Amino acid sequence: MPETYRPRRSCLAVPGSSPKMIDKARGLAVDQVFLDLEDACAPLEKPGARKNITAAFTEGGWEGKTRVVRVNDLSTQWAYRDVIEVVEGAGADLDCIMLPKVQTAAHVVWLDVLLTQIEAATGLESGRIGIEAQIEDARGLQNVDAIAEASPRLETIIFGPADFMASTNMRGFVVGDQPLGYDIGDAFHYPLARILMAARANGLQAIDGPYVQIRDKAGFRKVAGRSAALGYDGKWVLHPGQVDAANAVFSPRQEDYDHAENILDAYAWSTSEAGGARGAVMLGDEMIDEASRKMALVIAGQGRVAGMTRQDVWQRPEAGA
Ligand code: GLV
Ligand code: MG
Q: Are 16 and 52 in contact (CB under 8 A)?
A: yes
Q: What does each C-alpha distance from 222 to 190, 227, 229, 247 come to in angstroms?
A: 17, 9, 11, 14
Radius of gyration of the chain (CA): 21
For 16-69, the pLDDT digits (tens) are 999 999 999 999 999 999 999 999 999 999 999 999 999 999 999 999 999 999
Which is the closest atom of ligand 1 to the Cα of 39?
2
Give the span between the Cα atoms of 72 and 81, in whole angstroms. Answer: 9
Shared-domain flag, residues 126 and 263 = no
Asked if residue 227 is part of any domain, the answer here is yes
Distance 43 CA to ligand 2 centre (A): 15
Shared-domain flag, residues 200 and 82 = yes
For 89-128, the pLDDT digits (tens) are 999 999 999 999 999 999 999 999 999 999 999 999 999 9
Which is the closest atom of ligand 1 to the Cα of 210?
5
CATH of the domain at 48: 3.20.20.60
**Which range marks the domain in which residue 149 is found?**
10-249
Instruction: Quote the pTM value.
Output: 0.91
Distance 279 CA to ligand 1 centre (A): 46
Closest by alpha carbon to 100, among 47, 158, 25, 156?
Answer: 158
What are the residues facing 112 on neighbouring strands?
A: none
Which protein residues touch ligand 1 with a CB less than 6 Å away?
100, 134, 136, 160-163, 209-210
Strands 281-283 and 286-288: antiparallel
CB count in 10 Å sphere of residue 314 = 18
Q: What is the pLDDT of residue 320?
A: 54
Shared-domain flag, residues 297 and 228 = no
Residue of the nearest CA to atom 3 in ligand 1? 160
Q: What is the pLDDT confidence band of residue 284, given thresholds at 50, 70 and 90?
A: confident
Shared-domain flag, residues 16 and 48 = yes
Shared-domain flag, residues 203 and 163 = yes
What are the residues facing 158 on neighbouring strands?
A: 134, 207
Q: Are 264 and 297 in contact (CB under 8 A)?
A: yes
Shared-domain flag, residues 24 and 146 = yes
Give the span between the Cα atoms of 14 and 107, in whole angstroms. Answer: 24
Q: What does each C-alpha distance from 286 to 118, 252, 253, 298 come to in angstroms?
A: 54, 20, 19, 18
| CA angle 28–32–35, rounded 5-degree value | 90
The arithmetic mean of pLDDT across residues 129-153, rounded, is 98
Q: What is the pLDDT confidence band of residue 4, given thresholds at 50, 70 and 90?
A: low
Total domain count, the chain? 2
